[in-house]
Structure 1
Amino acid sequence: YKYLFYIDHTLQTEDGWFIDTSDLKSNQTARLISTMISITNHGLCIRFWYRASGSKQGKLNLLQRISNQQNTTLIYSIQLNFDMNWHEAFVYRETLGNYQFILEGIVGNKFTDLDNIAIDDITTNEGPCSTQKFCDFESQDICGYVHDLSDNFNWTRHRGETNSFGTGPSYDHTTYTTEGYYMYIETSAPRQPGDIARLISPVFPASKQYNCLQFYYHQYGIDIGAFNVYKRDVGGSLNPLKIFSSQGNRFDEWHVMEINLLASKPYTIIFEGVVGKSFEGDIAIDDVLIKERPCPSVGNCDFEQSMCTYKNSEKDSEIDWIRMRSDIGDNTIGIKFGTYLAFDMTSTTVPSSRALLISPYLDNTVQYCFQYYYRRYGDGQGSLIINRQTFTNMTADDLLVKHESNDFTNEWKINQIVLNPLLNQTSNVYRLLFEGISISGVGRLMLDDFEFINGSCPSLPNNCSIQCDTSTDLRQCIPTNQICDFNRDCLNGDDERLCGYDCTFESDQCNYTDSSVGVYKWRRQRAGLSVPSMDHTTLSANGYYMIVSTNNGTSDERARLLSPLFQQSSSTCELTFFYHMPGININPLEILLLQGSQRSRIRLIQGTQTDHWYQAIVKIGRLYRPFRVDFDASKTTTLTNIVIDDIRWIGCNLPIINNKRVACTTNQFQCKRGGCIDQNRVCDYTDDCGDRSDEDDLTCSRPNVIPGCDFETNLCKFVSLSNQQLRFERARADQIVHDYAPERDHTLNNLAGSFIYVNTIGQPPNSLAHIRSSRFVP
């Protein structure tokens, strides 16, 4: 993992340059001072890329100094963590004059070479920072947001403490300083209880998939009224759709919220603040972001791309929970590129130091099963306490579980907690607190794959889900993770046959289930009762298929048909099915891959279709953890039924292992787990064996060949040539949302994996981009 520290941001290689604090010792400070810069009436945007790794005592600050003066003003602050990735910061300033800007790196207790603050690619431009679908309200134009002319008063752009005691934030969320701006409602006189202020966003474009609205809000005061958020479609109903509401005192801290939006039409977001009974009711918002992907379900997080809606406590802790990667691998992917949450204990960590992670708010009217994975690494001794906290009494926590140090092992373990609704509560929400406490030694406690399941807890995986005769001529137990994994362990095939994943729908729905909300649903139907008049299996009116009828539901509804749960799939795995959906410009049928909190589109069928059955072949590829497939149909404006039939899964099993070890041929490679694959599938960045033995470093070390690159951490020895009109850039699938862009990378086969690409949108024809490999010396 250390090699990430030698990668610059510009070139994404070890050949690029950046500036850092690697020569500093504990508690030392470094300052990088700009030339004199003039700020005009248009304002100034400062952008830079940073990597800030180190103890919680360290900081990366941006200071501003007036010409010919020594005093500085703190305008931006970043707290250190152990995230090895480059991040972009942008700061808008509008105070006229000549200034110098100072990047200040403060090193905390330095205990390894990983304590390092790095800066790269500093740029400025006159005018506001163009951030498209993100607004931090640092710019005076508040990103094009406008006040509703029909309300009683306006939201106020402000920095520092509000004008009233005992209410409102003391700092913004963007910079965590008194120099950063946020929007808030001031509820002091002349405001009256029930007065309303509305802030309306710019118009966001329509999208073919769900958008995720993320925002931070602050709701502190004993007389908070209400905070409501609405979505209004352009050209739609004058009555906007309420998508979020919060009442009462949420105490002096910033909270994060994410909401899925169905964006079939252009839309605006409306933030509404309602005045409570007194001046102690200020409500604030900051850092509004529209993501062009669905949000994970509330509370679910695999930590591959972000911390989702979890956050570290702004107070009451000495250490932060941090996202990390390491050679030991996470639980989600199981390899070094996977990310987990860590409570890191070092040689300088003081015993009894605390790290406090806070969950999003959970509905107190619903029963949940909270499922998570945990393990340890190293010799560090520490404990984990999980509490439930309500807003009835913030000081009285409900202890759910305590993991002592000896509960943590060097293997990932699963645990479940039943969360029943609490009685006699004045608030309808609660949250979970994850408190890590250090004891001694060096090491880390690790968490991963948080999932909240509605209802009671499912059975935990076990080592004997079924018993059957196997190829070893012995009756054996088949564990849960080997059932519905496409590999036939039982001689009679019960471990796969009972899963019901190949389905003609002639006798039943197999194990496919409709999870739609509303009347727009998938249902099994005989062909002679609707269009089409023949199914695909029997080519007759007596055959059956699955259908979503346009006669049901309202516009924008979606019908969802979920597959059974699969444990894994091989690199050659494909899903095939037949579909019938004739019409002009029909709305889409999306095939979605669901893995933990990740949701990616793997096939899209739309446009004009003729009156025939067509076969769809969908590449699934190597997947290491449980997944489902969702057939997601949108309500159409045309009178067209969406129909599917004859679902099959092909080539999804791993190389077959015989009960007697059979030698591979000269054109084959022997997998460590057993079984053979063709030699041309070795070292192709695809785990064909199922145990990665065909892709490990020892197998793929070829000194006489130009080294390849999986682009997971950098560009390796490849260089994007700067003398071309276009450039190859490195990105993750979750960062690019266009119809042409891949939904997953090839290496990890998920949203968090990286690849290189050329952005051709809006570029003139025949523009070129070149990328150059390292030099080959025979």
Structure 2
Amino acid sequence: MLRSLQQPRRSWLITAPTNTTGPSGRCLQFDYSIGGLGVEWLEVLLVTYHSENINEALKNSSVPLDYQVMPLWRTKQTTHGEWQGAQVTFSTLHEHSLVFSAFPDTHYAKYHGYVAMDDLSFTDGPCQQDCMFDLDLCSWSNSETTDDFDWKIGRSSEKRGTGPSRDQASSLITRITTGGYAYVDSSYPRQPGDVAWLVSATLEPTTEPLCLHFWINMHGGGMGSVRVLQMPLNSPVESKELWRLWKGASWGTDTWYPCQQTVASTEEFQIIFEASVGVPGAGDVGLDTISFSRGACPSLPLSSSPGWGDCTFLDDTCSWQVPSITSSYDCNFLSRVAGNKYNPPGHTESVYEITDMYMKFNLNCYKTHARDRAALVSPVITTSSDLCLSFWVFMYTNIASQIHVGALRVVLQSTEKNTTLWRLQNQQHAGWTYAQVSIPAASSVRVAIEGIQGPKVMGMIGIDDIAFFPLNCKLKPTLATVQVADCTFDHDLCTWELQKTNQTYTSSIDKWQLATGDKILRDHTFDADGGGFGYLESFNTQHTSRLKSSLLPQNQTFCLTFWFSEIYPDHSAKLSLIRLVAGNEEVVWSALQSTITNPPVAVDNDATWRYAQVLLENQDSDYQMIIEGRVTRSAWAIDDLLFIPNREDCRLHPPYARP
């Protein structure tokens, strides 16, 4: 009989039938690990039984079994083999079982995958900070001093045309006995503008963002507003609004809607649900099923966010601007897509069955070329404090021999300049990767998430579930870290500039420039034709050209890594790296072509990229780096300059480059 409960293509781990939880509910805590390509999601289900002889029905398939299944928790995120903890609060007045259900990913059916569970425990009462309001307000409480009236526990509205008729859980499964919910009564003696605060217990500082989940019912023609506030414990006057449904934002029907908001703080804090009165007696607000989960999440509904740009892409691109490109062959470089046999599933998680949409950079579009780019641009952002931008990234191709996919970067756009804050390039792994980066406090800026085409490849770069929240956050993944002087030469010389000299250039190629068109060398970043690297060339006339970086910070050690190539035989050709501190120059790396072997340059040899690195010890003041190239009848090429902070192993390479 257990097999008859199980859905096709799913693996179930089910508990024995258990008696009612009582109105206080119960907390399930567990650790889980998900790895491999073959898993699409893991979920926890509540199975409620409505038969009298449950044990007999489970043993004997001839005895009918009446039951209903309700989803409680779901994740689509791989843990990459690590253990993660989770908790789920549930409440039912029926005999029930809990089910762990794992679902395979049909896109990667031929690959292995696993789900592991450990350390399952049950405790009476809700999980910490969760509340289902079936018995009371749990660890939440009404404010005694700051508001005008209180939240109450309700079972069903006593007024027609306003308020919930049932709690959230029983509204999904009608045969479940009605539980409770929290609500505000807007009738007399309430006045327009009166507010009620429901305040959480003290929450500890968060090492990573949390997602606050809750359900709202706004039924009635005279609704006020509902807000979620975050209040620092030591500075109550500095409360921040995280989420708001505006005055009059009734959904028109007696329906519970899922809502969520990212919360994060570096100090102890409390969460406040604030409901205000619109027209007295014409609209009651219901609140139910509060829970927390790990990780950031886009605000739901999207209209509740402060306007920075949260988006799940389920319905549209929200307020993000997308290039207006049309094609009769449906081959746009950037477009909104759904998962299908050509595209992997999106990242958005929901207890409902949804058509998940996300933004895709198509790496096999016939119209694009290497280093072509397109950007998703946010609305104008104005904030007095730092924000954290979080999103999910998919960068992958099924071609095992191809690692060069393209790049994705986050750019802060202002009227003065564009600044790259985050950059990830080339193949990662076959799954969605969490990313985050801090956006500094600023007035009237935009954020662009820009995709850059690599070579033509059957693959994609995807973006999903964008969320902003107030926090100066640590950049993730660390591979996406950028420094101000980094340069991959995709489209320009980045922040590097030609240093003025007394030398007169006789042609356009005898000074450092961006290589364009077909050269003897493919770029190192993407292994693609058409340029995309720094280039210096001269024939029969000796020339020296210098590129100077932007300022590098003092008291910071870097390992400078880069790739270079010598092109055409010229024993006098020389490439040097020079540190400029307070007007004094110091050569830290230098290579003569005559000392380069492995193999020696010959006219008929293809040029080869060579790896180099040099340690840049911390200085007492800001400084600059200079790349100096000397050529007579040859050329130098450089690419992928990266300044890696605090790298321990940074021995000079190649050894012959010692100045």
| TM-score tier after normalising by the smaller chain length | 0.3 to 0.5
Question: Which protein has greater RCO, CA pairs closer than 8 Å, 6+ apart?
Answer: 2
What TM-score comes out, normalization by structure 1 length?
0.38
Q: Higher Cα Rg: structure 1 or 2? A: 2
